[in-house]
Amino acid sequence: MAAFVQTLLQQIHVLDFLDLNALDERGCRIDELEQAINDLNAEMDADKPPSPSVPSLPKDDSKSPKEP
């Protein structure tokens, strides 16, 4: 049984199922991609002109009942 397990582990390693370096590299590349996306979003936000503030309109009292 131990020989079977040892052979199986060797086959798995040969097939790169346990290639931890490749997994680490993929993780780093994903982190870099996320950072690049965040940088682009920040650039886009910085390039946007500030939205003009809407001035508040004076209250229209013509709709309210007037006192006699």
The answer to whether residue 27 is domain-embedded is: yes
Quick: pLDDT tens for 29-46. 999 999 999 999 999 988
The answer to whether residue 15 is domain-embedded is: yes
The answer to whether residue 50 is domain-embedded is: no
The answer to whether residue 57 is domain-embedded is: no
- 12 pLDDT tier (thresholds 50, 70, 90): confident
The answer to whether residue 22 is domain-embedded is: yes
Report the Cα 15 to chain-centroid distance in Å: 32
Q: Write out the H or E segment, with its range, that includes residue 32.
A: helix 20-47
pTM listed for this prediction: 0.46
What's the domain count of the chain? Answer: 1
Distance from C-alpha of 45 to C-alpha of 54, rounded to nearest angstrom: 20
The answer to whether residue 19 is domain-embedded is: yes
- Is the CA virtual torsion 59, 62, 63, 66 positive or negative? positive
The answer to whether residue 20 is domain-embedded is: yes
Q: What is the domain range of residue 27?
A: 7-41
pLDDT of residue 10: 83
